[in-house]
Structure 1
């Protein structure tokens, strides 16, 4: 299930999903203004170490939107040979530029490996930021990099239900859509198309 995803994977997927279907046949963007950014950061405060001190201004909004564009461009690459989300398929930044932007943002948060080895468990390494004042975007970039380099990336799909623009993590072999409502819309659309074609053939 998606809830079993790592914190990094969940965070970057949620960032990508701030571009979504608006419920009326169009595309909505939850990060069109600073208020939207503040609301999104508040919802993800536990996963964002820099959330306590981030400055909500137009410069930060632009930086987060830039990271989102880079992540979505690499999501589109990850789902190949499948089609990317139709929300931005016609205006994706080149993959090399997306990688460079993520790396540049992540570099703003230098980190060191920290070993943890509790009794009765295997040793684990996590990256601890060296600079406690690293910007919010650095944490987002590092989360995107961690997700894109993880095995979960291979389960990433773009939903092609009617009007949907979401990416999702495929949980079982037969899953085609991000949620059941998209599957229902797809089945209704196919039924309507078959009915229309049969009527046309009968005339």
Structure 2
């Protein structure tokens, strides 16, 4: 899912800070390569933008998506460290909807040799950056209105800023690493205080 992948492009660096994997062209290129199957599914074989062009637009959209994810997981504690200041919820919604509108409208197509119809998008333009961000925004809308929203969690581990889909009702942290770090922290607090 593009929106969750974009939100996960910022994480704890393991040393008390944040790691922004979209901070340089190589990181953006790696994200574009990981997202290629999802982007192709939505856009078809449209031109993929260059990392230099896509990076700033993706980072801007990530702020919107992470703000909406934070709103969705409340009343859980808010993230302790974010990439950007919180946005007004209405402003975040307007920005997301405006960005998704670049993708255009869904169209039903049914090839002669296909057993079932598919949905394609009739874009409002040909700018590959706008189409990419429109696809990610559309992914966020589909996710925030879909059945997986109830599984969205913000990792409660100290310094972790990741969102994840809870795979099991007992899952608390985004990864075993965060769970182990929290257990070590609790043990330390019990034995040293």
Q: TM-score, normalised by structure 1?
A: 0.80
User: How do 1:118-157 residues align onto structure 2 when only pairs under 5 Å count?
Assistant: 127-131=119-123, 133=126, 135-157=131-153
2:162 aligned to 161, 166, 169, which one? 166
Moved more, 133-142 or 97-106: 133-142
Q: In structure 2, what is the equivalent of residue 29 of structure 1?
A: 20
**Structure 1, unaligned runs of 5 or more:** 1-9, 198-203
Contact between 2:63 and 2:83, CA under 8 Å: does it hold in 1?
no
Contact between 2:106 and 2:121, CA under 8 Å: does it hold in 1?
yes
Q: In structure 2, what is the equivalent of residue 48 of structure 1?
A: 39
Whichever of the two has the greater Rg, that structure is 1
Q: In structure 1, what is the equivalent of residue 100 of structure 2?
A: 106
Looking at structure 2, the residues matched to 59 and 188 of structure 1 have their Cα atoms a distance apart, in angstroms, of 42
Contact between 2:81 and 2:159, CA under 8 Å: does it hold in 1?
no
Looking at structure 2, the residues matched to 89 and 76 of structure 1 have their Cα atoms a distance apart, in angstroms, of 12
Q: Deviations over 1:62-106 (max 9, x none)?
A: 211111110000000011000233221872111111111111111
Q: In structure 2, what is the equivalent of residue 64 of structure 1?
A: 58
- C-alpha RMSD of matched pairs (Å): 2.4
Classify the secondary structure of the residue corresponding to 2:56: helix
Tell me whether 1:12 sits opposite 2:3 in the alignment: yes
Moved more, 25-34 or 65-74: 25-34
**Structure 2, unaligned runs of 5 or more:** none
- Label 1:126 to 1:142 Cα distance change in 2 as closer, same or farther (>3 A): farther
Q: TM-score, normalised by structure 2?
A: 0.84
Q: In structure 2, what is the equivalent of residue 4 of structure 1?
A: none
Q: In structure 1, what is the equivalent of residue 76 of structure 2?
A: 82
Looking at structure 2, the residues matched to 18 and 162 of structure 1 have their Cα atoms a distance apart, in angstroms, of 18
Aligned length: 183
